[in-house]
Amino acid sequence: MSTATDSPHRDIPGTAPAVDPIAGGAALARLVDPAEPFVLYERDRVVGVALGAAAELVVTPTGLRVTDVHGRTRTEPIDGTALDRIAAAVGDFVPAGRRAYGWAAFELSYLIHGLPVPAGAGDLLRLVLPTTEVRVSTTGTDIVHTDDPERARDLRRAVSEATPGPERGTPIPVDEDDGADRYRRIVATAISEIHADRFRKVILSRAVPVAGDVDLVATYERGRRNNTPARSFLLRLGGLTAAGFSPETVVEVTDDGAFSTQPLAGTRARHGDDLVDGALRDELLQDPKEIYEHAVSVQTAQDEVADVAAPGSVHVDGFMHVVPRGSVQHLASRVRGRLRPGATAWDALARLFPAVTASGLPKTNACAAISRHEDGPRGLYSGAVLTIDGDGGLDAALALRTLYQQEGRTWLRAGAGIVGTSDPDRELEETREKLRSVSRFLIAREQVRR
């Protein structure tokens, strides 16, 4: 079972690696045609890169569309059996020994759980079976699959010649207080609703626009070297481009049926000063509000894991330890189980999605509150970037700490967990702290060294 990565590549001990996976992945991103689907997904210091789309699966609020490797497309409606239809389609879509890459919007959870999908929601799930798949680690480059040997040679050469990207560039300003007054108001309203017993916890977020021409590849590379994510990703798929540093996984499933989730809840800033950060860590571990927020999240995750796990297989590892995640530090726990007979990775994902740390408690009530209070659908934010193996494995990274580009717009988004004892000013400050995991590392396109 894999564990989260808590140190950036520059902290790998020993001599310099023969291959820099982050630089190599970024080099591949720059090499491909901008019109070609591209997904980079880093897990345990191995960078998987999907290039092109031999086949594609798309789920919308009303239907499912699959284009197979022969270019044939079929569509079917989505109804109350959404999960069964999606799982069956994915099972046919990904052959044994292959891997599909893609993303799931937060609003997919409404479809899975039988709730009305919010108006304006776009695609809910997009997966591609790549024409070429490359995996880059410190030991070398593995061309997992390709139909073009000549292209494979070009890809290997690009990785071998890759050098780390720029660490500096003209800063791109981000107004951390954009929408601050409105955010305070919706937090205050949510606190009132909690006191009225409408729900116990809700995560409310706000989007912050980014002006200027941001180079997402350079921003990803610089941000990854200065963050400590559980997973990282860079993608251009379905009209959406994103670069992110996921703090936690929604679910990890291995091909032998072992699975886990890692809820993070409870937050303090990180400043890079050991004494200051240590004091904030101690404060975090003693704050009743943060401890309550974390404990109820872990309790929910444990119940959800138990719903699809074999009896006696559920346990919690490392309860309420502190992990660094870029500009913040969180309380973390890992809940593990083993799939019961007949259950699949999709059953685990459906039960755990959306992440309790990105929605609230109870989830259905919290999702309804999110629809009421936030300004439009979330899309990828607090959804997942995921890989699906034809042999039964699945890995889904929670899409937070991410820069998004779509339809000429660029933005960041961050949220905070609201409970009955929350303070609107403190929750607003928490969103600022989380934004800095990305906003400090934005690189303008014209500043990138070629």
Which residues are catalytically annotated? 248
Identity (one letter) of the amino acid at 147? Answer: D
Please list, in sequence order, all residues whose beta carbon lies within 8 angstroms of the beta carbon of residue 213, skipping any fewer than 6 positions away: 444, 445, 446
Terminal alpha carbon distance of the chain:
39
Phi, psi of 154 (to 5 degrees): -65, -40
In whole angstroms, how far apart are CA 173 and each of 209, 438, 443?
A: 10, 12, 10
Please list, in sequence order, all residues whose beta carbon lies within 8 angstroms of the beta carbon of residue 267, skipping any fewer than 6 positions away: 284, 290, 328, 329, 330, 331, 416, 430, 433, 434
In whole angstroms, how far apart are CA 282 and each of 276, 278, 422, 443?
A: 10, 6, 19, 34
CA distance 369 to 359: 9
Q: Tokens standing for 340?
A: 């019961």
CA distance 33 to 122: 24
Phi, psi of 165 (to 5 degrees): -75, -175
Q: What is the 3-state secondary structure (H, E, C) of 278-331?
A: HHHHHHHHHCHHHHHHHHHHHHHHHHHHHHHECCCCCEEEEEEEEEEECCEEEE
Q: Using an 8 Å Cβ cutoff, are 358 and 265 in contact?
A: no
Half-sphere exposure of 256 (CA within 13 A, CB side): 3
Q: Work out the angle at residue 319's Cα, subtended by the Cα atoms of residues 313 and 320, and round it to the nearest 5 degrees.
A: 155
> How many residues appear in the chain?
450
CA distance 112 to 119: 16
Three-class SS of residue 180? helix
Beta strand residue intervals within 309-432, DSSP E: 315-325, 328-338, 360-361, 384-389, 394-398, 402-406, 409-418
In whole angstroms, how far apart are CA 372 and each of 184, 193, 250?
A: 15, 12, 24
